[in-house]
Chain A
Amino acid sequence: MKQKTTSLSAQKRTGNVVLNIVLILICTVWIVPTVGLLVSSVRNRDAINTSGWWYVLPHREWVNTRTFDAPTGTADAPVTIEGATATFEQFRDGVTTGDGKRLKWEGNRRLGTIQVEELQWTMDTKFTLANYERVLAPTDARVKETLRDGSVVENSGEDIGPAFLNTITVAVPATIIPILIAAFAAYAFAWMNFPGRKLLFAGVVALLVVPLQTAMIPMLRDFVGLQINGTFLAVWLAHTTFGLPLATYLLYNYISQLPRETLEAASIDGASHFTTFLRLVLPLSVPALASFAIFQFIWVWNDYLVGLIFLGGAPSVRIITQRLVDMVGTRGADWHLLTAGAFISMLLPMAIFLGLQRFFVRGLLAGSVKG
């Protein structure tokens, strides 16, 4: 009997080890893309273009240990250098000797040097903030960049800062306005009686799944008619509209669960609905409000389509996701700029997310777990 329990717990322990290994593997796959972006964004252009970002990790690489002049006066015949015999062409591509060295002929046949290289453990840890400097610098700035051969070039900046600011301008009101409107509506659905209540709520639930593309074209035409297309007002209205069903639904779930006695007590004390809402319901609903606020803020911050359609592409109102897509278009393979730009665009939502993860998760759950 005792034997059996030991073997069972041993089995369990092996199971645990396997389980943790599987989890670590999955987590590695999940975190590597982000790490790759971050690491690349602080490497200089040459480094990014000639070696993968993982070269910052310890790896074995041929490192030059000695250089001497190549023998001259040889024709096409093979030559023997340092005990290795090969033709010029072979030396040019690199010849590995028996003792683990590699000989490389640099320069031409008549005038060249022999590089003696050895495999060594190295790490490429030359990091720089130059990419960020250039991405943030205004377009008329001349940002100096030193190339590998020592020459200095001047580049214009990418001026991503205004787009960052525009996104804040879009995201803050587009977070607070729908929450405010939804909180009032959720209170009415939960604690007030009025004709059409059920029908309206069914409408909210139905709208939860309606794709926003469905409403976009007429909305766009109305905004053009009101002459607000391309202004922040248009995009706030759009985000408010598209965020409202979920906000109302989530906040209703929360506000309708508040203890009836507390609200009734307030009403007996003569508090009006408005006072009850302001003084009692809003403070009690802070967790739900915060959850949805974080959720909506990250959603709006990361939005591309709504901004694209209702703000248009004018540089003065361009948001960060648009700016990034533009950069992908114009700077397709300039990974030193793209990675820095992408990281700047992710900075705020990631910070909020890591700092307030608990709220964020709760907000998600309120919407999707029934019960």
Chain B
Amino acid sequence: MQSSRQLPSSNDFNAGKLLAGLALLGVVGFLLVQGFLLLRDGNLPKLANAAVAIVWGVGGVAVLYYTLNLMVESLAQKTRMALQPFVFIGPAALILVWFFIIPTIRTAILSLYDRDGEIFIGIQNYITTFTDREMLLAVRNNLLWMVFGTTFCVGMGLLVAVLADRSRMENLVKSIIFLPMAISFVGAGVIWKFIFYYAPEGAPQIGLLNSIVTSFGGQPQAWLALIQPWNNLFLIVVLIWMQTGFCMVTFSAALKGVPEELIEAGRIDGASERRIFFGITIPYIQGTIVTVTTTILIFTLKIFDVVQAMTGGQFGTDVIGTQFYRQLFANRNLGAGSAIAVVLLVATIPIMVYNLRQMARQKTM
């Protein structure tokens, strides 16, 4: 790069550039609005609509940045230095504040109002929520998800990571365990519903699980419907199948970071493999274990798709996520739905605080 390319005029206010920017902003704004109306009201063929939508959405954002920057760069250096960061951070901040932070506060307020969000009723929604039998069942089930789901995902993930680390088939094993991560919960729901499929005794058992059970002389079971509360565990199996890959990959990377010298030193001191694992490896990857565990905990707290796709919350498999959805859409009760959302939020606060403290300690900023 040549230093002579610096333009002397870039330090001063440049009215032409500002005007150009403003004009461009007008044009871009007009086009975006037109595109929006076209997308909202137009009857384009599917493929054309998709193409317009992609160009409109992605192009719109890019051009918006460009225009805003053009305007800021037309200003005198001092103003520009002060304003430019906000061009960069502005859209992100605007979206997060407008669509995430303010809505969170509004949800908290809404939870104190009645079903239409009009009459203030204090903490009545919370009282209803915590005395409703269905909701209490959902909370219990969510706890099952969090305890069993997290334990098995993290445990299996660690086990496979440790075993694969010593095997020559490492990459293949990791790919296989990891593959379900690419599948949607809805798709996985179909896969596992088929495995748990129940046909009456005597009929051909085309579900894998019942086929295995009957071939050992057992009775076919309606796994997802009948044996409450254990049917929740069959749903949790789907989560374990899907999320173990995430835990494994993360642990695997952490294990590769344990210094070989430390382990060698342990061996020279005559420590057994088990001793080395629990005395050196585990403490060394402790941070990763905490991160992975909290990630899965939050994931299980919010769980919705699997249950909705597989049982729709029937047969005593409701979770907080499906209750939220039902209050919002089936019952059209904004107040109760908001109260449930706030309960979810409060449950994540300890993890949030932990993360913030970690950030402060690491002084990444």
Contact = CB atoms under 8 A, between A and B. Distances in A.
A33 B93 contact: no
Contact of B187 (A32, A248, A345): A345
A63 interface: no
Contact of B185 (A48, A248, A304): A304
A34 B85 contact: no
B183 A350 contact: yes
Contacts, number: 359
Nearest to B344: A211
Contacts of B54: 169, 172-173
Contacts of B191: 33-34, 36-37, 342
Contacts of B292: 368
Which of A201, A218, A303, A349: most chain B CB closer than 10 A?
Answer: A218
Contacts of B172: 27
Contact of B194 (A248, A270, A335, A341): A335
Contacts of A204: 96
**For B5, B96, B164, which residue has the most chain A Cβ atoms within 10 angstroms?**
B96
Interface stretch (A76-84, A113-121, A142-150, A175-183): A175-183
A286 interface: no
Contacts of B197: 333, 335
Contacts of A364: 246, 249-250
Contact of B365 (A16, A197, A219, A338): A197
B356 A205 contact: yes
A302 B184 CA distance: 4
B3 A270 contact: yes
B101 interface: yes
Nearest to A280: B1
Given A219-B103, A371-B257, A321 B184 contact: yes
B236 interface: no
A365 B96 CA distance: 24
Interface SS of chain B? helix
A12 to B, nearest CB: 10
A184 to B, nearest CB: 4
B139 to A, nearest CB: 15
Interface string B190-223: 1111110100000011111001000000000000
17 contacts: A19-B167, A184-B91, A209-B298, A214-B342, A215-B99, A218-B107, A233-B39, A248-B92, A270-B10, A302-B184, A304-B184, A305-B321, A325-B309, A364-B250, A365-B249, A370-B287, A370-B358
Given A177-B58, A248-B92, A305-B325, 20 more contacts: A20-B169, A22-B163, A26-B156, A36-B194, A51-B206, A176-B58, A194-B86, A206-B352, A208-B355, A209-B351, A213-B321, A214-B345, A215-B99, A215-B103, A232-B57, A268-B3, A298-B182, A309-B328, A349-B182, A369-B254
